[in-house]
Structure 1
Amino acid sequence: MGRKGDETRGRLLDATQELIESGGYYGAGLNQVIAASGMPRGSLYFHFPGGKDAMVAEALRRAGREIDQAVRDLAGSAPDAAALVAGVLGLLGDRLEASGWRKGCPVATVALEMAATDDPLQEVCAEVYDSWEGALRDRLAADGHPDPDDLATTVLALVEGALLLARTHRSRDPLDRVTRKITAFLAL
């Protein structure tokens, strides 16, 4: 694919990612993606012959990689797992607040909407969550925490819950509270 094709595909994915992060699967209709991207309908079908689900799946993977990379970058500079999680919550809180409380977790809304009805999208959401858990697990194991598998799942669940509450209340307070508790919990 040439540069122009890559740009077109990128614009379609940018629009899809923005729409699914703020409105979920059902908030990212094809007409909305076309309008937000400024691309013609034919480009959508050319780049995503599998239709909306293929486009949403790629946007989810892309959003997942962005967060995963941010977590791994923070892991490289954080002195311990508690600092890593505090950094991640700070980053996600900044992102959420900057979006006007529309962009919490880039996967959660689609995961909740589609987990029971769309196996391919459920699998993509699970892949993304597995990747994030893996990054947390690696750091927890490196820090010598016992049972890093269970602990990574627990931490991710707390992060996801804090994002949901922060988005619902339009306040960083839930993120700050969870940051304090995770920091204390990981210090044990």
Structure 2
Amino acid sequence: MGVKGEETRARLIAGTRSLIEAHGYFGTGLNQVVAESGAPRGSLYFHFPEGKDQLVAAALAQAGQEVEDLLAATVREGADTATALTALTQAFADRLTRSGFTKGCPIATVALEVAGGNEGLRQVCAEVYAGWQRVLAQRLTAEGFEAAEADVAAGQALALLEGAVLLAQVRRSVEPLLDASHAVRHLITAHANRAPQPTR
């Protein structure tokens, strides 16, 4: 694929991301994607011959990887798990405020719609969330958590933040995210206090 082809594919994915984050899976049609991206309709089927689901899957995977990369980069810089989650919370808060509270988590809107009826996209969403949880669990393990406890704590922390994004959108306020950030710190501390202490 040449440079022009890569650019067209990237425009289609970017247009799809923008639309599904604001309007969801069912609120986004291929005509809208073509208009949003400025790409020729024929190029959509050239790059995504399986149609809408293949395009949405690519958009979800790209958005999810960006969040995972943010978490991983924060951890590489030496941040502990709570600080990495605070960075993620701030990223979601910034997205919400910039978009007038129409765009929060880039995965959640579609995940809620497709979880019960589209196995392919449900699996994509599940893999994205699993990647985020894995980064956090690995960091918690490095901080001294047992592997199983680290995975539980990471999952609970993500659930708190994802719920907070939904409340923030409904209330049109970042307060739920700020509250969730504090709650995550307490959650991680509570898990750490329950962890078995090394014997002397």
TM-score range, shorter chain: over 0.9
Conserved? CA contact 1:82–1:187, under 8 Å? no
Task: Give ranges in structure 2 of 5+ residues lacking alignment.
Answer: 191-200
AA matched with 2:20: I
Deviation at 1:78, TM superposition (A): 4.5
Task: Show the counterpart of 1:24.
Answer: 24
Measured in 2, the distance between the counterparts of 1:42 and 1:113 equals 28
AA matched with 1:104: G
Conserved? CA contact 2:157–2:187, under 8 Å? no
Task: Show the counterpart of 2:187.
Answer: 185
Task: Show the counterpart of 1:161.
Answer: 163
1:25-71 Cα deviation digits (max 9, x unpaired): 01220011011011111111011000000000000000001111111
AA matched with 1:79: A
Task: Show the counterpart of 2:135.
Answer: 135
Task: Show the counterpart of 1:170.
Answer: 172
Task: Give ranges in structure 1 of 5+ residues lacking alignment.
Answer: none
Counterpart secondary structure, 1:171: coil
> 2:71 matched to 1:74?
no
Measured in 1, the distance between the counterparts of 2:169 and 2:78 equals 26
**When the two structures are superposed, what TM-score results if normalisation uses the length of structure 1?**
0.96
Task: Show the counterpart of 1:35.
Answer: 35
Residues 173 and 78 of structure 1, relative CA distance in 2, 3 Å threshold: farther
Bigger radius of gyration: 2
Q: Give 4+ residue runs of structure 1 displaced > 2 Å after superposition.
A: none
Measured in 1, the distance between the counterparts of 2:140 and 2:65 equals 20
Deviation at 1:141, TM superposition (A): 1.0
Deviation at 1:186, TM superposition (A): 1.8
AA matched with 1:7: E
Conserved? CA contact 2:153–2:187, under 8 Å? no
Conserved? CA contact 2:153–2:188, under 8 Å? no
**When the two structures are superposed, what TM-score results if normalisation uses the length of structure 2?**
0.90
Conserved? CA contact 1:74–1:84, under 8 Å? yes
